[in-house]
Structure 1
């Protein structure tokens, strides 16, 4: 049974009522994670009438199942950004995410946020080469860094690359606090308000209980966009899954760590109500591609005990992350034909800073404020060749899974998104769709999109 550390140590939960009457609003936001709640808060502060819809309960999706690292150090990203986009855009990516950290610091309370250093570490010669290349790019972009070897983990290490004054979140407590700030600005937060259908031309949507919401602008913060076919985003996003475990620890680490060599591992501690917890994560693979995820939890658990000399994990959970083809998330209008429909997605495991950054970009675009990150995060940005390659790769995988799944998993329930056969996941006890990452609970109800309707388990 999965039990996220963040969800189990959340503040006492506030129950937000479902939408019960037809409503007209300036902005309708679908998705109650950090990107959705932050966007709602910023737009309401700007004087907009905002309705936020969450199909289950806020912060129980991706935001409640992350590592909680709030940092500009998104793995070895800046060398790639420099090569793909040039110096100005790579520097802008850093500044945009750094501004997101400072925003979070300005509104957080208590132990929702803690300052920490972010450290990349290498254990091999090839890893050292990658780190030194990344450090050279830091220097070129003006990103302050530290090369001194100050390493707290019981691992052999050859070199490190450190960014100071980064942060760590308790993502659920921080999100709960942010939701109250949004509500105080007039946001109508609606839980258990699943969207049944959309009429984007008429700027309306219908909920599963028949309620109709009319809007001027729509923002999809649903991790994987419901309207993914528009703008071909369904062929631009690749969904990967990672695993996390935690156990009580004696002392909190000063840094948060990520290996650049394989197998990739992320390490941090969380200090919650005076008690430190050790977090270890990794074991990434394509979502829906395996029928037994127990092996991934077991590998992390073995390392927790053999390397870090801690006991059995108390909490085990998993995160699912869409990635764009070119490292930068999508935040903005989903297509030129419908500039009033926006998406926030593709955070590539770095959703804490990028969700806040995307929220600022979308809210600024809607309100007409200048934001230099708008073209950088635009879903229709240039770079078609890269996207086409990703589309071919992703679509090929999808077609193989579609045809093969109907043969090899002929009795498995059919995903209600685009008709792929799901795969039973014995480790998480879920039905997982390998085509686009939808996940369903044992009873067939939707756990993660892009599917919006439950499985027919009697089919």
Structure 2
């Protein structure tokens, strides 16, 4: 089945090109009690980078992943290795001062340089391609903001310039151009880094969800079938599963929707992101069969906003109107968290958990921030001085965060109330096509109902087990999403992301063909 759109049909299933174009390695489940110098939780760019850097420094490291490595946010990123993070630097100067803003610029430039050196030194075949990065504005009234951003970036030591012409088919009024940036295939790069980690004696365990940490000497991490004793622990699980209540109101979940398309001729060589409303980002993707174009956009809070498939179709329409698209070959959704003050949390997870660290809140720029996290956490664990530590300290509480906390709380309360009121009810299944889902009230019970094909329906509990909010069906991401805290679940109820650690209960269900009446088993 293909979903018809204004141009080429979209793929009927969500699938990341990065995941589809690489083999998935297999690692054992942790079933024993083991010891390590450091235990790292999370098999994405932050966890793998931290683990590899520590192993190269001589530490015995165990890396634990709840599912399979590199299939979460890192496997769905747009993978731009750049210091250009939209309009960021003037904001940082205004909010934190020039000294702190300089540390942000320096840390991300160092991460870009570190990735570049490693790719070249080790000859990693990961489609690593030098390119410029542009943050452009479409409206004339944004020229001054673009000029100020370019001036701010240059003051902080970055290779930035103000331009009014960009080599791409967009009607840009002005742009900040960052020279000597790069893009790459994130899984190919990190699979190579995993090989380095293993050569240095590192151990990887998959399907080993850490359910708790007992702090002490050593700290003890428990999984369903095993445990790890470690002097230091790094929680790099995207959203921290440990001390998570400290982070739910200090980070805001958001999603973007991504397309990969074949185009006539060559796509633009560089990387682009628009600033202001209706943001779009695009960059080329080298492949063995020629370059594709990667486009993403319509950033929105998780579980809040329009139908996600409608947003994906809008991106497809914009893409086909802007570029000579031959076919849309992939579509997927990516979720990330941004902190209240737009600076990630990397460091001690709280003031009272000595030796337990966190890396989270990358705000959509994980290709550099994940590497920054690895470099900083390596230094903190090894007892080295690092000038970035104060900037990324998770226990900071700047003015920007204080202003944002009440709004985050109101959002959760509003969504909790709205979800229950908006449900349809009764005994009949909603009018769903195969591949569609909806949260409904059936026989007085809140359920997530998914139609797999004409004859097969699935049902799960429709309430988030973490915050108690009513879930929302995400058609583009093929998941049940929580609009209060960003937890996400597969069609069958398994945890994908967020503070929730428990999956959704599966509900026995039968639906008659005559009138789509739901049988009483759903009670």
Q: Which of structures 1 and 2 has the bigger CA Rg?
A: 2
Number of residues of Structure 1 aligned to a counterpart in Structure 2: 455
Deviation at 1:452, TM superposition (A): 1.8
Q: Unpaired runs of 5+ in structure 2?
A: 1-12, 424-440, 448-461, 508-522
Query: In the alignment, which residue of structure 1 is the partner of 2:198?
Result: 183
Deviation at 1:419, TM superposition (A): 2.5
Deviation at 1:252, TM superposition (A): 4.3
- Confirm whether residue 70 of structure 1 aligns to residue 84 of structure 2: no
Aligned to 1:36, which of 47, 60, 70?
Answer: 47
TM alignment of 1:209-228, pairs within 5 A:
210-228=225-243
Residues 266-286 of structure 1: per-residue CA shift (max 9 Å, x gap) = 010011225201011101110
Query: In the alignment, which residue of structure 2 is the partner of 1:337?
Result: 352
Deviation at 1:45, TM superposition (A): 1.4
Query: In the alignment, which residue of structure 1 is the partner of 2:16?
Result: 4
- Confirm whether residue 206 of structure 1 aligns to residue 222 of structure 2: yes
Residues 113-163 of structure 1: per-residue CA shift (max 9 Å, x gap) = 111100111221222121011122123223222334452222222222211
- Confirm whether residue 266 of structure 1 aligns to residue 315 of structure 2: no
Higher helix share: 1
Checking the alignment, whether the CA contact within 8 Å between 2:165 and 2:174 is kept in structure 1 is no
Query: In the alignment, which residue of structure 2 is the partner of 1:368?
Result: 383
Checking the alignment, whether the CA contact within 8 Å between 2:348 and 2:354 is kept in structure 1 is yes
Checking the alignment, whether the CA contact within 8 Å between 2:333 and 2:476 is kept in structure 1 is no
Query: In the alignment, which residue of structure 1 is the partner of 2:8?
Result: none
Aligned to 1:351, which of 354, 361, 366?
Answer: 366
Query: In the alignment, which residue of structure 1 is the partner of 2:501?
Result: 452
Query: In the alignment, which residue of structure 2 is the partner of 1:140?
Result: 155
- Confirm whether residue 158 of structure 1 aligns to residue 173 of structure 2: yes
Deviation at 1:253, TM superposition (A): 2.5
Checking the alignment, whether the CA contact within 8 Å between 2:256 and 2:297 is kept in structure 1 is yes
Query: In the alignment, which residue of structure 1 is the partner of 2:69?
Result: 58
Query: In the alignment, which residue of structure 1 is the partner of 2:209?
Result: 194
- Confirm whether residue 310 of structure 1 aligns to residue 319 of structure 2: no
Residues 275-325 of structure 1: per-residue CA shift (max 9 Å, x gap) = 201011101110112473101110011112122120341100111110111
- Name the stretch that deviates more: 74-83 or 396-405: 396-405
DSSP-derived class of the 1:127 partner:
helix
Checking the alignment, whether the CA contact within 8 Å between 1:415 and 1:433 is kept in structure 2 is yes
Query: In the alignment, which residue of structure 1 is the partner of 2:252?
Result: 238
In 2: Cα distance, 1:362 partner to 1:296 partner:
37
Checking the alignment, whether the CA contact within 8 Å between 2:126 and 2:186 is kept in structure 1 is no
DSSP-derived class of the 1:235 partner:
coil
Q: Unpaired runs of 5+ in structure 1?
A: none
Query: In the alignment, which residue of structure 2 is the partner of 1:389?
Result: 403
DSSP-derived class of the 2:283 partner:
strand
TM-score, length-scaled by structure 1: 0.95
TM-score, length-scaled by structure 2: 0.84
Query: In the alignment, which residue of structure 2 is the partner of 1:422?
Result: 471
In 2: Cα distance, 1:61 partner to 1:373 partner:
27
Checking the alignment, whether the CA contact within 8 Å between 1:293 and 1:425 is kept in structure 2 is yes
DSSP-derived class of the 1:106 partner:
helix
In 2: Cα distance, 1:290 partner to 1:147 partner:
34
In 1: Cα distance, 2:27 partner to 2:15 partner:
22
Query: In the alignment, which residue of structure 1 is the partner of 2:261?
Result: 247
* Cα separation, partners in 2 of 1:356 and 1:81, compared to 1, 3 Å: same
Checking the alignment, whether the CA contact within 8 Å between 1:334 and 1:342 is kept in structure 2 is yes
DSSP-derived class of the 1:297 partner:
helix
DSSP-derived class of the 2:294 partner:
strand
DSSP-derived class of the 1:311 partner:
strand
DSSP-derived class of the 1:431 partner:
strand
Aligned to 2:31, which of 16, 20, 30?
Answer: 20
Q: State the Cα RMSD in Å.
A: 1.7
DSSP-derived class of the 2:162 partner:
coil
- Name the stretch that deviates more: 284-293 or 72-81: 284-293
Residues 173-196 of structure 1: per-residue CA shift (max 9 Å, x gap) = 111111111111111111111123
DSSP-derived class of the 2:160 partner:
coil
Deviation at 1:44, TM superposition (A): 1.1
* Cα separation, partners in 2 of 1:110 and 1:252, compared to 1, 3 Å: farther
Deviation at 1:453, TM superposition (A): 1.7
In 2: Cα distance, 1:418 partner to 1:341 partner:
25
* Cα separation, partners in 2 of 1:134 and 1:290, compared to 1, 3 Å: closer
Structure number with higher relative contact order (C-alpha < 8 Å, ≥ 6 residues apart)? 1
- Name the stretch that deviates more: 261-270 or 244-253: 244-253
* Cα separation, partners in 2 of 1:274 and 1:370, compared to 1, 3 Å: farther
Query: In the alignment, which residue of structure 2 is the partner of 1:324?
Result: 339
